[in-house]
Structure 1
Amino acid sequence: MNSGTTITAGIDGSRASLDAADWAAREAGRRRLSLRLLHAGTRHRVSARVPDVDVPAGCARTTLDRAAIQLSYAHPALDIVARDTETPAVPALIAAAAESETLVVGTRGRTGHSALAGFLAGSVALTVASGATCPVVLVRAGELPEDEREFAPGRTPMSATPYRPVVLGLDLKHPADGLIGHAFDTAVVRSAPLLVVHAWTPPPPHGRAPADRSANAPSPGGAHDRGTGRRRALTGTLRPWRDKFPDAPVAEQVVHGHAGDQLLRASTGAGLLIVGRRAGGRLGRAARSVIRQVTCPVVVVPYG
């Protein structure tokens, strides 16, 4: 398979991975791409195109077989390929990323009250998100198709309701074209509004932390002017993308406070949160924070 034509989903038999595979199938359908299901660390390598997954008589179906067949019934128009590999999960998924437009992995959802729901991101998910060369989507266990869309009372079919907003966290020091372009394209594919959030914290006076100030309170001195400058910079950064995607409804938000906290607030009620990562670098503190706490799927896009 060639890069740019396939979405790959990692399958390990967990609820999180199966929900992630279902999300990946919906995304592949939206983008008219094929779906590859990859189960790593197995003894017997099998590559099969669904629904022609042949299982010898008397042999139990594997987790990969069952997932592939279920998805083929749920998405009959989708081209699905199922593959086993003996390679351990992390290197197998990172290698698959080089051949994929997007890589989708599951991570456990927290239990309990929905307000506390979020990710219990495992080492595989975080390592893959830190090392893959394509965008990596982290999908929590329990993610449902209706979670992507606005609630519509009555008998309105789910497919007729609009998608929830896409949120992009943007660092103006690194306004990478690949990151911004991915966010605009994702919003357009969904016909969803895009909210671009830039969070900033001015340096404390004389190296001291400001006392008793809320995250959105104005800072003394020239902080107001710096905030105005950042709003202008954000508008200028997005202007060519607005021109390239004229049908995308875009809102801009410059907020004072820590990026992780502000992205969590902005992503409340969102369908997708997109953050960036420097290619060859680790996930930043803000990205790790939102991955652990946000309730919607998170896309980590490498840039640079």
Structure 2
Amino acid sequence: MTRPVAVGVDGSPAGLAAADWGAREAVLRDLPLRLVHAWEWQPYSHAPPAGPEDARRWSEGIPQEVTDRLRRLHPELDIKADFVIGPPREVLCRAGEEAEVLVIGTAGAGRVAGFLLGSVSTATVAHAEVPVVLVRAGGSGGQPASGPALVPPPPVVLGLDLSRPCDEVIGFAFEAAAVRAAPLTVVHGWSPPPSDLYGLGAALRFGTDLSADERERVRQALRPWRARYPGVDVTAQAVIGEPARHLLDAAAHAALVVIGRHRRPARPMPRHIGHLTHTVLHRCPAPVAVVPHG
């Protein structure tokens, strides 16, 4: 059974941006699209209905309205729309279990002000077992601006963490670059051990031997994926310093930024998304794919 691209829609501009991005992704990957709207009574910040029954009737119309719009834009796309009663995070995570990728929208004002990353988005990223792509309302959606056909596509950017196995993250980034015929920029941020910063000859070793070793680790990690995707043009860098800062610099004009989220054992306490993921999600202007791994 072909697994779809699943998109959470809620009637907001962010939800519409996510639906547009998800539809384009489904076309690129030749997959069906599933739109999911989760309903539970709550105050609405946009188009508030008069009461619970009116709210439900209004909410039930959202998936169909988005479907009609996307069918006009992508008449060849297989689209299914579902209205599901339940807490949004639980509904979205269940939808993700049957999907190749889950797409949700976030509201935000760019790198300086940051995303308005809501509790549903954060909880979904923390719990979903499939890659989750967050798309910013009002952004380009990672699509190149209209212009000459010869303008090269923007790159896919991969944040590479070599501290734990991450084949799922690397594979997702290579596939995303391949279907877009886009280059792949790999950013590995690292910091040398404190013991290597002191002592006789440290000034010569720092930035030479240590950096060469780290670049070789990156090459080794990417080697099988380069062989599997020979058509993807890869630029890799091992840079000293805070990984999130280097990723945000590389993401300024990216089609998609791909980062990993380490799976943690099931615990009664709430799951967290990690410092790097939190920073990138709040500041990155491009769509961000968070891929669970490990």
TM-score by length of 1: 0.82
- SS state at 1:164 partner: coil
Q: Distance in 2 between matches of 1:73 and 1:161?
A: 27
Query: How big is the shift at 1:202?
Result: 2.2
1:303 paired with 2:256, answer no
Counterpart residue number, 1:51: none
Alignment of 1:118-129 (within 5 A): 118-129=114-125
Counterpart residue number, 2:206: 223
AA in 1 matched with 2:36: L
Counterpart residue number, 1:202: 192
Query: How big is the shift at 1:175?
Result: 4.0
AA in 2 matched with 1:80: I
Q: Distance in 2 between matches of 1:150 and 1:41?
A: 35
Counterpart residue number, 2:231: 247
Counterpart residue number, 2:279: 289
Label 1:163 to 1:118 Cα distance change in 2 as closer, same or farther (>3 A).
farther
Counterpart residue number, 2:104: 105
Counterpart residue number, 1:214: none
Q: Distance in 2 between matches of 1:178 and 1:105?
A: 20
1:63 paired with 2:62, answer yes
Q: Percent identity?
A: 41
Query: How big is the shift at 1:163?
Result: 2.2
1:151 and 1:161 in contact (8 A); partners too: no
Root-mean-square deviation (Å): 2.3
Query: How big is the shift at 1:201?
Result: 1.5
Residue 248 of structure 2 is aligned with which of 264, 271, 281?
A: 264
Counterpart residue number, 1:49: none
Q: Distance in 1 between matches of 2:21 and 2:139?
A: 8
1:152-203 CA distance string (max 9 Å, x none) = 3xxx36xx64421000000111241111111111100000000111001224
Q: More helix per residue: 1 or 2? A: 2
Counterpart residue number, 1:33: 31
- SS state at 1:133 partner: coil
AA in 1 matched with 2:6: T
Q: Distance in 1 between matches of 2:66 and 2:212?
A: 51
1:272 and 1:299 in contact (8 A); partners too: yes
Q: Distance in 2 between matches of 1:289 and 1:200?
A: 16
| Gap regions ≥5 residues in structure 1 | 44-58, 211-218
- SS state at 1:39 partner: strand
AA in 1 matched with 2:243: A
Q: Distance in 1 between matches of 2:272 and 2:124?
A: 10
Counterpart residue number, 2:133: 137
Q: Distance in 1 between matches of 2:69 and 2:280?
A: 31
TM-score by length of 2: 0.84
Residue 14 of structure 1 is aligned with which of 9, 12, 23?
A: 12
1:150 and 1:163 in contact (8 A); partners too: no
AA in 2 matched with 1:137: V
AA in 1 matched with 2:22: A
AA in 1 matched with 2:182: A
1:42 and 1:85 in contact (8 A); partners too: no
Counterpart residue number, 1:235: 219
1:251-277 CA distance string (max 9 Å, x none) = 001111111111111111111100001
Q: Distance in 2 between matches of 1:117 and 1:249?
A: 33
1:149 paired with 2:147, answer no
